[in-house]
Structure 1
Amino acid sequence: MLIRKASVKDAAIIADTESACFLPSEAASRQEFEERLRHYADHFWLLFENSVLVSFVDGMVTDTPDLEDRMYHDASLHNPNGAWQMIFGVATRPEYRRRGYAGTLIRRCIEEAKKEGRKGVVLTCRDFRVPYYAKFGFKDEGVSESTHGGFKWHQMRVTF
């Protein structure tokens, strides 16, 4: 297992993994990932097994305390000195699920946000994922205003 940060050259394999994990209405495109990587590649955690990208976690940093839909589409909103680490995606290829890869990356993201002096980490998820993220210390703040992908989302937060 290898964990590393991303670079723009990883956009294609990240987009491929994303499309294997999410519905088209939820998945970011290669172009969106290229833009995100140009702004905050150091906030992409990639996990490889035998040179295959099997899981990743990504998201920007901002002073805005709540995850807003516009953040998914405007990478320039990233503020490297921001208070909150957002998580936009937790993706593990279906054939590699239930092996702890995503959890390893979530814990890494939380550790790094804490070391960087952030106030905490914020994500949104569908209702059936709330218990999963609670295992990592995220607290459910209720239904988010997000309509990303046409779904209802719960905002969850870990505060340091």
Structure 2
Amino acid sequence: MQITPVKMADLPQIMAIEKAGFSDAEAGSTAAYQERIEKLGSTFLVARNEAVVLGFIVGPATKERYIQDEMFVTTPTNLERGGHQLVFTLAVSPLARHQRVGSQLLAALETDARAHQRTSMALTCLERLVPFYEGNGFTNQGVAESTHAGETWYNLEKVW
């Protein structure tokens, strides 16, 4: 497995993984992912086995400590240095789950974030995923303000 920056050619496989991992209300649209590939290329990583996408992680580097719902509507532009690395999505193909692909993607994005002098990495997740992120060094900061997809989300953060 290799972890590489995203390519626009990855979009069909990314969308298949997105639809397999999230409800229709939670999932990002094809247009949203096109914008993310264009604007967040340096913080959009793909795990692949040759041409097959196994999973991906994407999010902006911003001044904001936590994700805000409006960021899902209009993708922020990455800060060059500093700020906080946010994670909009971490998703793994159903065929590659339980193989530590998600943990490796988190580690790769953290390495990049540290190299760009970010002070933390944060994401929102559903309650059932909190133990996974805690196992990857994140701390549960409680219920997020997000109302995305009508779900209850939790802020998870890793500070270094």
The answer to whether the superposition gives a TM-score over 0.5 is yes
Residue in structure 1 matched with residue 95 of structure 2 by the alignment: 95
Residue in structure 1 matched with residue 4 of structure 2 by the alignment: 4
Asked if the contact 1:62/1:81 (under 8 Å) is kept, the reply is: no
Asked if the contact 2:82/2:116 (under 8 Å) is kept, the reply is: no
Deviation at 1:77, TM superposition (A): 4.7
Deviation at 1:12, TM superposition (A): 2.5
Asked if the contact 1:8/1:37 (under 8 Å) is kept, the reply is: yes
Counterpart amino acid of residue 99 in structure 2:
R
Matches within 5 A, 1:94-113: 94-113=94-113
Matches within 5 A, 1:131-150: 131-150=131-150
Q: Which whole-Å CA distance do the structure 1 matches of 2:51 and 2:77 have between them?
A: 32
Residue in structure 2 matched with residue 27 of structure 1 by the alignment: 27
TM-score (norm. length: structure 2): 0.93
Asked if the contact 2:47/2:54 (under 8 Å) is kept, the reply is: yes
Q: Which whole-Å CA distance do the structure 2 matches of 1:118 and 1:152 have between them?
A: 27
Q: Which whole-Å CA distance do the structure 1 matches of 2:29 and 2:79 have between them?
A: 22
Deviation at 1:81, TM superposition (A): 3.4
Matches within 5 A, 1:3-82: 3-82=3-82
Asked if the contact 1:87/1:123 (under 8 Å) is kept, the reply is: yes
Asked if the contact 1:8/1:41 (under 8 Å) is kept, the reply is: no
SS at match of 1:117: coil
Q: Which whole-Å CA distance do the structure 2 matches of 1:4 and 1:37 have between them?
A: 13
SS at match of 2:40: helix
The answer to whether 1:86 aligns with 2:72 is: no
Asked if the contact 2:82/2:117 (under 8 Å) is kept, the reply is: no
Deviation at 1:45, TM superposition (A): 0.9
Asked if the contact 2:57/2:105 (under 8 Å) is kept, the reply is: yes
TM-score (norm. length: structure 1): 0.93
Q: Which whole-Å CA distance do the structure 2 matches of 1:66 and 1:142 have between them?
A: 12
Counterpart amino acid of residue 135 in structure 2:
K
The answer to whether 1:127 aligns with 2:136 is: no
Structure 2 gap segments, 5+ residues each? none
What is the percent sequence identity of the aligned residues? Answer: 28
Counterpart amino acid of residue 36 in structure 2:
R
Counterpart amino acid of residue 33 in structure 2:
F
